[in-house]
């Protein structure tokens, strides 16, 4: 009987571990989503770790699985490089409603997502258009976990300011619904 109880306890622990691991932050590397090589090397942030986290939306259709989100991230990179003439994708990270985080410029790099903040922020874009509805729970969780990971690992200042792109530029980004949501998140700041 004791042996059976031990086996059941072990199986429960394995199940709990699998659930926790499956719900952990998943950052897909540039190689993992098939990023193009940058035209030239990105500069490091002038303020590193950055003092700000700038939230964006892609102003595009949403995606709900890795294949569709990978395609959307590639389209952002193509637009930024070919349409705008930038060296690479402008965001530091892109988040899909599949719950995955896709590495853009990555940690410590000068992005091209919000001119007044590029040198001192991490730009996080959620794939989709969020004027009428906020991103789903999986995307919100991934954004929050990415920020928490950055703070815990010294990639973002502990006293960072969370802002929406519209606070720095003349745009409706990250969409009305998403902007109203992030105003309730910890460390949102009315000023940049």
What is the pLDDT, as a whole number, of residue 23? 57
Sign of CA dihedral 185, 187, 191, 192: negative
Question: What is the DSSP secondary-structure string of 122-149?
Answer: EEEEESS--SSSPPPHHHHHHHHHHHHH
Which segments within 1-89 are labelled E, that is strand? 27-28, 52-57
- Whether 129 contacts 58, CB under 8 Å: yes
- Whether 38 contacts 107, CB under 8 Å: no
Residue 27's alpha-carbon distances to 16, 95, 180, 181, 189, in angstroms, are: 22, 9, 26, 23, 26
pLDDT digits (tens, 9 = 90+) for 63-113: 999 999 999 999 999 999 999 999 999 999 999 999 999 999 999 999 999
What is the pLDDT, as a whole number, of residue 145? 98
pLDDT digits (tens, 9 = 90+) for 136-157: 999 999 999 999 999 999 999 9
Structure tokens at 114: 């919000």
- Give this prediction's pTM: 0.88
What is the pLDDT, as a whole number, of residue 22? 43
Place of tokens 């429960």: 12
pLDDT digits (tens, 9 = 90+) for 4-33: 554 444 444 444 443 333 458 999 999 999
CA dist 23 and 17 (Å) reads: 10
Helix (H) or strand (E) holding 179: helix 176-182
Neighbours of 58 (CB within 10 A): 25
Query: Phi, psi at residue 56, to the nearest 5°?
Result: -130, 165
CA dist 192 and 186 (Å) reads: 15
Read off the DSSP letter of residue 75: H
Strand partners, 27: 101
């Amino acid at each position: 009987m004791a042996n059976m109880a031990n086996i059941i306890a072990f199986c429960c622990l394995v199940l709990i571990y699998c659930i926790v691991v499956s719900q952990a932050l998943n950052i897909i590397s540039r190689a993992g989503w098939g990023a193009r090589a940058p035209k030239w090397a990105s500069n490091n942030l002038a303020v590193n770790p950055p003092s700000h986290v700038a939230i964006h939306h892609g102003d595009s259709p949403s995606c709900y699985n890795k294949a569709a989100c990978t395609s959307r991230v590639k389209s952002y990179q193509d637009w930024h490089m070919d349409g705008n003439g930038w060296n690479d994708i402008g965001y530091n990270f892109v988040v899909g409603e599949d719950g995955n985080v896709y590495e853009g410029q990555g940690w410590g790099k000068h992005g091209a997502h919000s001119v007044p903040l590029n040198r001192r922020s991490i730009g996080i874009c959620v794939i989709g258009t969020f004027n009428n509805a906020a991103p789903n729970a999986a995307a919100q969780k991934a954004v929050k976990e990415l920020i928490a990971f950055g703070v815990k690992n010294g990639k973002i200042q502990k006293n960072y300011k969370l802002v929406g792109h519209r606070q720095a530029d003349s745009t409706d980004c990250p969409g009305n619904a998403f902007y109203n949501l992030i105003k309730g998140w910890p460390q949102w700041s009315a000023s940049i």
